[in-house]
Amino acid sequence: MKSNIEFKKEIYDVKTWQQLHVTQLTYLRNLFIGLATALIALVFSDLRDFTYPTLKYTMTVSLTASLICGIGLAARESENFRLKYKIARNILRGRDTSSDEKECEGIEKENRYIFKLQAIFFAIGAINMVGTVFL
């Protein structure tokens, strides 16, 4: 049996929590992409005339912007993972990683901003969707 200290180390392992954080953010980003795509498809498949066409256009533009942000974010995260893998290899080889680490931090900062934009655009589109349904 494992001791209590070893059990706590295993549960509170930083790598496990980092992986969980990355996985949850990836799921959330993909959820925004999927829902934005579905709502855009709903707008174009809806054959009735909208009472307020401005809401329809605002919704379409904001959901498309959310979709573009999500796809761009996925591409940037892929670049960030590639860079982190390069840093890990260079650490094992004993090489300098300071420039790669700074680039990685810059990408992560930009990714946080893009994710917030994606969520805001999606929220605007969803609010407009509710407006078009109930008005």
Q: What is the tens place of the pLDDT at every residue in 50-75?
A: 666 777 788 888 888 988 888 888 88
**Do residues 132 and 59 touch, judged by C-beta distance below 8 A?**
yes
Is this model's pTM higher than 0.75 or not? Answer: no
Please determine, for residue 114, whether its predicted confidence score (pLDDT) is greater than 80. Answer: yes
Burial of residue 107, with CB atoms counted within 10 A of its CB: 0-12 exposed, 13-18 middle, 19 or more buried: middle
Burial of residue 64, with CB atoms counted within 10 A of its CB: 0-12 exposed, 13-18 middle, 19 or more buried: middle
End-to-end Cα spacing for the chain: 63
Greater model confidence, 50 or 41: 41
- With vertex at residue 121, the alpha carbon angle to CA 120 and CA 125, rounded to the nearest 5 degrees, is 115
* Secondary structure in 3-state letters for 79-124: HHHHHHHHHHHHHHHCCCCHHHHHHHHHHHHHHHHHHHHHHHHHHH
Write down the domain spans for the chain: 4-134
